[in-house]
A and B are shown apart, each in its own frame.
Chain A
Amino acid sequence: MASQGVGFDPEEFSRLARETGVRLRKARKPLIIVGLVIVAFVALYGSYYQVEPDEVGLVTRFGRFVRTCNPGPHAKFPFGIEQVQKVPVQRQLKQEFGFRTARADIQSSFHKDEKTEAESVMLTGDLNVATVEWIVQYKISDPYKYLFRMRDVEETFRLMTEACMRTVVGDHSVTELLTVGREAIAAKAKELLSNMCKLYDNGISVQQLILQDVDPPEPVRPSFNAVNQAIQERERAINEAWAEYNQEIPRARGLAEQKIQAAEGYAIDRVNRAKGDAQRFNALEEQYRKSPEVTRTRIYLETLAAVLPTAGKKLIFDEKAKGILPMFPLGPTQEVKP
């Protein structure tokens, strides 16, 4: 429906008033004049209206929509000929689901009862139950449609939002809802709701849909916490095992390295000693070759000279005197000291 744009004409209005005034003055009834003044006052009062900065005014004449007014002072036909409905198009409106803000303040207080509880309880896609609280922020994008297309737009919008949210939650598992899926669910629900608003053509545009508290239902909550606890336990067990691993493996690596180094030391030791011995032997052998007889005898006698004194008992006998041997006293004796 297009505005006809037929404005209020003040000149015509004052002319009419003047003529009526003249006619009545002829009746010469002062009372009527007083009455006329009152009527004029009411007419003036009824023709003035003001539109606040965040609103627009929709004017209907005899019920028919004629024009939209922007913020500021305006005039209209009085006596119900023209009527104004003001719609807050600039204001961001909000609906709450699953709770109500009882008092918005620095520390807002919230209110919940059976009714809000019924709003928040819903079935998830894996046939579990969860309570979801959320808010919707919206604006009136088309005041004409908002006013005239639907009776009780706000309540309908509530129902639409609930239906959308449940549709989306019904397509997610309870775990997704409680953890990873929150944002996706909110985005999906907003999209669905926006589409539905377009379909319903209700003049509302959805600004934001934000999930608030999402919880498993009260009786089930402890078991959900138990799962979290179990996850912690699992992580702890694994961490402990890794801690042990990290304690022992580097140490074992160090020990292994130590053994290897020691073995290398041993090998080098062996080789060096062998080389030393060989060099010594070679040197000796070179000299020995020059005069083997003498060297040999010298070494032999030197050895005996060194060795013989260390022996505990020494018995030197002549092969010809064979009789001595049987008299040789066996057993320990103290008489001969080395």
Chain B
Amino acid sequence: MSTIQLSRGTFSKKFLTALAVAFLFSTVGSTKAIAGVWAVNVTHDVSESQQQAIILKGTVTDSNGEPVIGASITEKGSPKNGTVTDIDGHFSLKLKPNATLIVSYIGFQKQEVAVNGKTSITVVLKENAELLEEVVVVGYGTQKKENLTGAVSSVDIDKSLKNRPIADVGRGLQGTIPGLSVTVGNGEIGSDPTMKIRGQLASINGTSSPLILLDNVEIPSIQMVNPDDIESISVLKDAAASSIYGAKAAFGVVLITTKKGAKNESVNIQYSTNFSWQNVAKDIKMGGIDALDYTVNAFERVGSSIAGAFWYVTRESYEKSVLWQQKYGGTVKANDPMVYGRDWYVDSSDRKIGVRTYDPYNYMVREWTPSQTQNLSISGKSGKTAYNIGLGYLDQTGMMKPAKHDDFKRYNASLRLSTDINKYLTVKAGMIYSKREKRYAYVTNSTTADPWLYLYRWGPLYPLTTEDGDPIRSPVSEAQQANTASQKYNYTNVNIGATIHLTKDWTVDADFTHASQEFTWNRPGTIYTAKNAWGGAAAKLDANGNRIYVDDSGQVVDASATGAMPAYQLSNVTYTSTGSNPDHIYRNSENMEQETANVYTTYNFKLDENNVFKAMGGINRVTQKTVNNWSQITQLLDISNPQFDLATGTQTAGGQVYWESQLGYYGRLNYALMDKYLFEANLRYDGSSKFPTNLSWRWFPSFSAGWRASEEKFMEWAKPTLSSLKMRGSWGTIGDQTVPNSMYVSTMGVSNTSWLDGSTKFVSVGTPSVVVPSITWQDIETLDLGVDLRMFNNELGVSFDWYQRTTKNMIVAGAAVANTFGTSAPNGNFGELRTRGWELAVDYNHRFSNGIGVNATATLADATTIITKYAPLAVKTVSNTYYEGKRYGDIWGYKTDRLYQYSDFELGSDGKPQLITLTADESAKYAGKKAYKLKTVDGKKPVYQPYLQNSSNFYFGPGDVKFVDLNGDGEINNGSNTTDDHGDLSVIGNSTPRYEYGLRLGADWKGFDCSIFFQGVGKRQIWGSGFLAIPGYNSSDGAMPQTFAGDFWKDDRTDAFYPRAYNQGGSDNTNNMQVQSRYLLDMSYMRIKNMTLGYSLPQDLLKKAAISKARVYIALENFFTFDHLRDLPIDPEAVSGYSMFNSSNYNSGRTGVGTPMFKSVSFGLQLNF
């Protein structure tokens, strides 16, 4: 390459960079915050000259012919004579004609090439699958993968996170690491996924959540990390691996390290962008006309003639709805106004009867909402200074159609610098800034019934459109009128550090990080006005005050016309009475400050080739303090401008302080004997502020060992098929202290009571709590056995782990206390639980001689948790979440036989089952109760189910559920509902995800690449709650999935899956819907999480634009789902009652009713300069 070309290349590179940056900034729209960091001189000095024998010019490429940038070229025997390849893979080096070159690059096999007097040479490097990931980041250091003895998994960043239009790393990790369970409970944008390592539960009072570290500093949310800034992610799963992180690492560690800058003299600029469009992942098929049919059947069953919530349905109106559908179904559009006479009428008892049906989906869901990400990173090394600058922008739009704003934005900026001051001292500094903002419609502050619930709340008769130009009261109009609430997070992390190289083998690292997060939650309320859809209808009059008459098509007619009926209308009402919710402005402000200091020293000591030691010791100190306060004023003067100064009502305020700290001293010793026998020991002395002073300090040891069997002489025969084989084992304990800090001190809550002196609330102080003053650490003990295998020249790898994790001294309530004690049993270290599981990971990489490369990775893991010690002597009620001996998540229920048919009953002369009063002979336990008389078949006494008739008008008849008399006592009941006496109950399922798996298949050829990623859960069941899961949950309200509405038992549909219609009146587990095997929801699924097709533009084309790499791709995210939910609008990943707004009773715990999960299609571009 000539000098002219070079400088032109440099120039155009600068130009393009500037262009890219400008583009980024214009997209972000806010340059102030990040412009300051953009001051790096992009120069590239490659014109080195050496006055030696000959000048060898060469090119280094990979097996695809793509240039390898930054490959190291040295002369064998004189390592100081060397260079690196430039962006085109070119190099030139002066050397003796007979010299030999050593060409190496990370991820490729090292090659020696004899020059033999040539002046021009092309070196093709062979990729090395194993070497690519040979170094793994572990606690306070790195370790060669082959020497790992603990249970550590690392993530292939390129494959897991690139190409995917996902907002956060957590979602990207789903299915990629065996034993890391990632649950995305709903589609709420800006929310964190739930991450658990090895089982769902490790401590009842603790968090059970892994410690997420970004460059050794705990971060409050995985949302704040820009996936593009990440260099590596390691997941530390056993005590031996994670214990070095001490007190907060008891449930595993997700270790994220960010890009630190280049290792070689270079400048790399990367720009990537992605535009995606999102839509609901699973069709929301709600019942229309068929749901009315269900409601009619349900009320007729109990002898009623009408049902409804605000909007009633009768047999007659149902027939009208069917006709309406035929007549107007095609012509009346969703947003056409509601018309009296045609769409509804008022009956003689002044009830509103609905005829037209509405599908909430049309009004609530915005389809194909756009999102985008923009990322720019510049990294490089100049002299002794390495740097990395990362800028990122994410803009996601949510799907709530009526909301003024429903979106999530994130801005990221990061800077990393390190410079070698002299040969002893390297100084590092960094800064991470992350701003997140979520906006949504502030409809109500109730998280137990948010607008999404109303997609499924009321039946199809509930009008969601307008009447006479005014909106009708509904979640739709309420969201339309709502002002926009926002949650903002500003996270800043400033980090300084130094590495001191005392000797070649002895270093000291010290770093200090100050992180702060500001959180504000603004909730500007409003006053809501709409047509009263809940109350009675009013007479509709014309301008002269005369009654308007209409016909059955809604046309105004003369009062005397045939079919004329007096018209009604809804009245326009302001629902928000002065000062009541949400006529207020509310703001919550929280400040979190965290200081983390680490000082540690590492010493490498090589006794001889066969005895290699590494010792590490240090201190870790973390302090954290969170302060928040909120205030609210009611009665807004101007609902279009809600402000504190413009609110005139009652002022309320409050606030809290949380603080905690941990201090730990730790040490680690590694010993490698003959590179075959590996040993590691960790010891940590931990202190925590959570426990009383005399109990706050504890020692926690852990040990691990490995044996690289493949390196033994006697294994020589297996080579080269067997590339490597290692067995490992570890044991260790870690202390957990993720419990509230008030557990050892008796305290009293202070609150305002609702007892008033005039308008002042009395302040009250509660009864002091009962505590066990000796409460201390929970001990997490892990035993792990693993084997790592690599075969066929490292192309195939298999890794397997079996583990047992025991939580000893688990903090739970003590021995059951009698009610006479007056409060619940105090917590103490009384419990124990045990999780056992296994993990399997397989990877495969192969490149065929024709250039086609294929790769595959697969993960599979399982875990079960048993509570081995819990409140002694407590009654083991099977419906309790915890009792001694319980497998966590087990669901007790009845075993379903089938649905009863007419043939099961003694029919009367009217052809109907006969209601009898049971005699002691028919039911010893429930004599005197009523039931339909069953036939005696084959002389066997029929089993009646009166115990399960929980409503006064419910008797088991044809079409109802027949249960199995498991214990054969001639009755169906739950005994005393305990493990000792559970009647006909048995364990019918388990709600924890079992057999979680992921499978990624990829291939590439001549610039094209494609991959597909499957993720799933092999086994998980839940007993659902609410409209979507329980047929007839509230058939009077009327909303139900089409699955129920179209497949319930009727006289003319006796082979239906769901039982005969009955209004459960809001109950999840009574009458036909006892917790049972037949209607247990099978939540196992397989999802094609990602499909990507990419194309990297040919090199020669790019060269002219000074681009080293350009790739375009299209990706489908979450596009195909395979589940066993019979078309119910429940996402198989849904977690009942969980959302970022309410983690335990979101939307009253009803299944599947949260923000819909979404899929997306996206287009992306990646450029490297």
Question: Do A and B interact?
Answer: no
- CB within 8 Å of A: which residues of B? none
Residues of A within 8 A of B (CB): none
